[in-house]
Structure 1
């Protein structure tokens, strides 16, 4: 990358600052964005024109390798991650830049709350989610072995399932490693190969991360066969319940064991109304 992250301290910033300082910020949706050629662009950070204004966007959750050797310590760190030499890491970075440029050749959508990503350009750099061809760009880079899962499993403002997305990216990374594609296959001549496991298209991938609507009083409960065991349900399964986010799911797990699901009433944050909405989802 040519607009750089500050290494150790930036990870701390992601963990500590990402949520609290930006929660007051409003998410903006920029449609029909245009990729702007720039010497500083790379796989995960690039110049964009949106609504007649130039921005630099930095993708959440991922880190594509460097495209030059101006920061040797960071390049060495990335080489270690991909288990290759520095020259090969530079090749991966350049392929990631080419991949992103091709993905963004047509108009695309970006979502940002203008959260500072600490670039070194004259323009401020902001974190963003970018959707191209009905798929999340971060997922596409990781799935094809062209970026690592990186930063911290921290919560962008209002994102109720950051940990779930983090694990999803790790699954894409494992598949890329197994299939030896992108950086994971550079030693086998497979840098330009694409994974058989691509992020699935959706009507709006951003909505899979955000804005989950709470269940209404009349929402249908799951069938008996699909109900959860309150003592064994995973965090993922709990967070799939409409209106139940990561914090409350963690409280439910930490309060185990329960005699019956009726004991959910004793979990902090589960008041009478919340209990009425949650109870039908459990045995």
Structure 2
């Protein structure tokens, strides 16, 4: 008498099919090519991120830091020139480096008032920042923007006169292709740091990232010097302090 085959449970059959599909998928993942770029990890920001690699007008591409002469922690670039750019302002501007690269640099230590009220595509604007700048000088937001315009005109005029020297370590904390820098200019027939001149003339407030100077002066010591310049500008009603509503020390 023949033995009747035992009928398999539908769940058992389904389990076999699912296991087969999973094994096939794992095998394809190991042997097949990946589709699309891998998601970027949240890596630690490098102290020396590379400059922009976008094509330049000259047909060159921006290379990694190292084309300038290095003195201590900073890379030194002589004979730099101001490059035209709609984003140029009193404390941030595009610079033409001697090797042909065009990069945007941001001054250490200082913040100049915004030169216009702006609204951005994401719905944000710079109005709160302008209010903070106005509060620092003790003036209205509209007056702060006028100071910003004066500061921008002064800086772009100064940098546009003659070549200048720039010190940078390619520090871009927000990875937005804007790099901190110290800039040497000629003012009154002698070399000066641009951020010092801005504070002295009342076109900036002491704010943003500090750093040790290229000549070795420590940031804390230099900040005390800048505080004295800012205080003197306030007392003499220079630049943004000329219409201040209060001469009291802040």
Structure showing greater radius of gyration is: 2
TM over 0.5: yes
Bigger helix fraction: 1
State yes or no: 1:64 paired with 2:121.
no
Change (3 A) 1:30 1:153: closer
SS of structure 2 residue aligned to 1:173: helix
* Aligned partner (choices 103, 127, 132) of residue 185 of structure 2: 132
Distance 1:50 1:101 in 2: 16
Distance 1:65 1:101 in 2: 15
Distance 2:145 2:105 in 1: 21
Two-structure CA RMSD over aligned residues (Å): 2.6
Matches within 5 A, 1:234-245: none
**TM value normalised by structure 2:** 0.61
State yes or no: 1:54 paired with 2:109.
no
Preserved contact between residue 137 and residue 244 of structure 2 (Cα < 8 Å): no
Number of positions where the alignment pairs a residue of Structure 1 with one of Structure 2: 166
Change (3 A) 1:119 1:156: farther
Preserved contact between residue 64 and residue 93 of structure 1 (Cα < 8 Å): yes
Q: What 5-or-longer segments of structure 2 have no aligned partner?
A: 1-43, 49-71, 119-125, 246-250
Matches within 5 A, 1:32-181: 32-51=79-98, 52-70=100-118, 71-105=126-160, 106-116=162-172, 118=174, 124-133=177-186, 134-151=191-208, 153=210, 155=212, 159-181=216-238
Q: What 5-or-longer segments of structure 1 have no aligned partner?
A: 1-16, 189-283
Cα offset, 1:67, TM superposition:
1.1
Could you tell me which residue of structure 2 aligns to residue 186 of structure 1? 243
